[in-house]
Amino acid sequence: GAVVSQHPSWVICKSGTSVKIECRSLDFQATTMFWYRQFPKQSLMLMATSNEGSKATYEQGVEKDKFLINHASLTLSTLTVTSAHPEDSSFYICSARELAGRYEQYFGPGTRLTVT
């Protein structure tokens, strides 16, 4: 149980284009999903917290117009990197929290984004 998938697992795009990454909870309903960014050999940096049906809350320094998050249902959240630049290349990981009051986060396998 508690499986989270991400799609795609890797993507290469050209500068200036937009890329959408999907995060799905496969066998549970996720009231809250988190998006992280991880640089090589570094820890996870929380980018934003999204709750189903409401606007995402972004961490300080994360551009909300660049990283669009939509949590359309209790099993799906999407992260769209708009007008991507090479510095956006990174490993993006989502996680999902099952129910309010339960604090475990279950992580997706990550999406490797390379912007050329």
Partner 1 sequence: GEDVEQSLFLSVREGDSSVINCTYTDSSSTYLYWYKQEPGAGLQLLTYIFSNMDMKQDQRLTVLLNKKDKHLSLRIADTQTGDSAIYFCAESSSTDSWGKFQFGAGTQVVVTP
Residues forming contacts to partner 1 in the complex (CB under 8 A) are 4, 6, 32, 34, 42-44, 46, 49, 51, 57, 93, 95, 97, 103-110, 112
Q: Tell the burial category of 61 from Cβ atoms under 10 Å away from its Cβ (0-12, 13-18, 19+).
A: exposed
Kindly tell me which of 15 and 29 has the beta carbon lying closer to partner 1. Answer: 29
Sign of torsion over alpha carbons 69, 110, 63, 116: negative
Query: How far apart are CB 31 and partner 1 at their closest, in Å?
Result: 9
Candidates 65, 66, 27, 69; CA nearest to 52 is 69
Query: How far apart are CB 114 and partner 1 at their closest, in Å?
Result: 13
Kindly tell me which of 15 and 45 has the beta carbon lying closer to partner 1. Answer: 45
The three-class DSSP label of residue 87 is helix
Kindly tell me which of 7 and 82 has the beta carbon lying closer to partner 1. Answer: 7
